[in-house]
C-alpha cells in the first residue's frame, strides 16, 4: 500500500476514534431519568435508587469536566501570549468577541432567572403556609405534596429550556475558544464540553433534590 495513503488512513482512523469518544449533549440527556411519581410516599429504597442514578450521572460528567479543564490548562501553559493582541485590528476583534460573549451570558442568565425565581417564590409561600403546623404527619405529607408539585413544574420547565441553554453553551464555548486563541499564539485547544455540560450538570444537580421534602417517618418504610 502507498505510504501516503496508509498514513492518511491512519490519521482518519485516529480522528474517528477521537470523535466517537466525545460524548454529545444527547448522550447525557438520554441518561437523565424521568421524574418519579408519588414522591411523598417514597421509602428509603426508592430514594436511594434514585440518588444512585443521579450520582453516577453526575460523576461521569464531573470526570469529563475535570479532564477537559486539565487539558485546557496544559494547552494554555504551552502557548505564548500574543504580543499583537492590542494592536487596533486585533483589539477590535477582541472587543467584538467580548460583546458577543456578553450577549450569550445575558440570555443565559435571563433564562435561568426565569426558571428559578417562580420556584423559589412558590417554595417560600408553601413554607410560610405550613410554618408551625407540622406536628401531625398528615400536615407534613401535605406540605411535601405541594412543594413536590412546585418542584416538578420547575424541573419540567427547566428541562424544556435545557436545549436552548445547551445551544447557548455550545456558542459560548466557541466564542471562549476564539477569545483564548486571540490571546495566545499556538493555542489550538477546542472545548468539547465546557458550558453546555455545565448546564446539564446543573439540571441533574437539581434532580438530586427531588426527595428533599419527604417526611422522615415515611422514608423508614421498607
71-81 pLDDT, tens digit each: 999 999 999 88
27-45 pLDDT, tens digit each: 999 999 999 999 999 999 9
Chain centroid, CA 158 distance in Å: 11
Q: What are phi and psi of 28, to 5 degrees?
A: -75, -40
Q: Is residue 32 a part of any domain in this protein? A: no
Distances (CA, A) of 198 to 75, 129, 172: 21, 34, 12
Residues of the chain with pLDDT under 50: 1-20, 221-222
Q: Is residue 35 a part of any domain in this protein? A: no
Tell me what pLDDT residue 218 has.
53
Q: Is residue 34 a part of any domain in this protein? A: no
pTM of the model: 0.85
Residue listed under C-alpha cell 443565559: 108
Q: Is residue 4 a part of any domain in this protein? A: no
- Domain span holding position 172: 41-219
Chain centroid, CA 215 distance in Å: 29
How far is the C-alpha of 44 from the C-alpha of 50, rounded, in Å?
A: 10
Q: How many domains does the chain have?
A: 1
Q: Is residue 131 a part of any domain in this protein? A: yes
Burial degree of 77 (CB within 10 A; 0-12, 13-18, 19+): exposed
Q: Is residue 69 a part of any domain in this protein? A: yes
Set of cell numbers at residue 109: 442568565
Q: CB count, 10 Å around CB of 143? A: 20
Q: Is residue 7 a part of any domain in this protein? A: no
DSSP at 35: P
Distances (CA, A) of 68 to 22, 65, 168: 11, 5, 19
91-116 pLDDT, tens digit each: 888 899 999 999 999 999 999 999 99
Q: Is residue 174 a part of any domain in this protein? A: yes
- Whether the Cβ atoms of residue 64 and residue 197 lie closer than 8 Å to each other: yes
Amino acid at each position: 500500500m502507498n505510504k501516503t495513503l496508509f498514513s492518511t488512513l491512519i490519521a482518519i482512523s485516529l480522528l474517528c476514534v477521537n470523535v466517537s469518544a466525545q460524548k454529545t449533549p444527547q448522550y447525557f440527556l438520554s441518561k437523565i431519568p424521568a421524574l418519579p411519581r408519588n414522591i411523598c410516599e417514597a421509602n428509603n429504597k426508592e430514594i436511594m435508587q434514585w440518588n444512585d442514578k443521579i450520582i453516577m450521572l453526575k460523576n461521569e460528567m464531573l470526570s469529563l469536566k475535570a479532564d477537559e479543564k486539565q487539558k485546557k490548562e496544559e494547552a494554555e501553559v504551552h502557548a505564548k501570549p500574543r504580543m499583537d493582541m492590542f494592536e487596533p485590528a486585533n483589539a477590535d476583534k477582541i472587543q467584538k468577541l467580548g460583546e458577543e460573549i456578553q450577549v450569550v451570558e445575558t440570555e443565559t442568565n435571563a433564562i435561568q432567572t426565569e426558571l428559578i425565581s417562580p420556584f423559589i417564590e412558590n417554595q417560600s409561600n408553601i413554607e410560610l403556609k405550613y410554618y408551625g403546623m407540622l406536628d401531625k404527619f398528615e400536615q407534613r405529607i401535605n406540605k411535601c405534596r405541594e412543594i413536590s408539585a412546585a418542584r416538578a413544574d420547575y424541573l419540567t420547565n427547566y428541562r424544556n429550556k435545557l436545549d436552548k441553554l445547551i445551544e447557548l453553551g455550545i456558542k459560548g464555548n466557541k466564542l471562549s475558544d476564539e477569545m483564548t486563541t486571540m490571546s495566545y499564539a499556538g493555542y489550538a485547544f477546542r472545548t468539547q464540553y465546557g458550558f453546555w455540560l455545565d448546564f446539564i450538570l446543573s439540571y441533574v444537580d437539581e434532580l438530586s433534590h427531588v426527595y428533599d421534602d419527604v417526611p422522615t417517618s415515611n422514608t423508614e418504610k421498607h
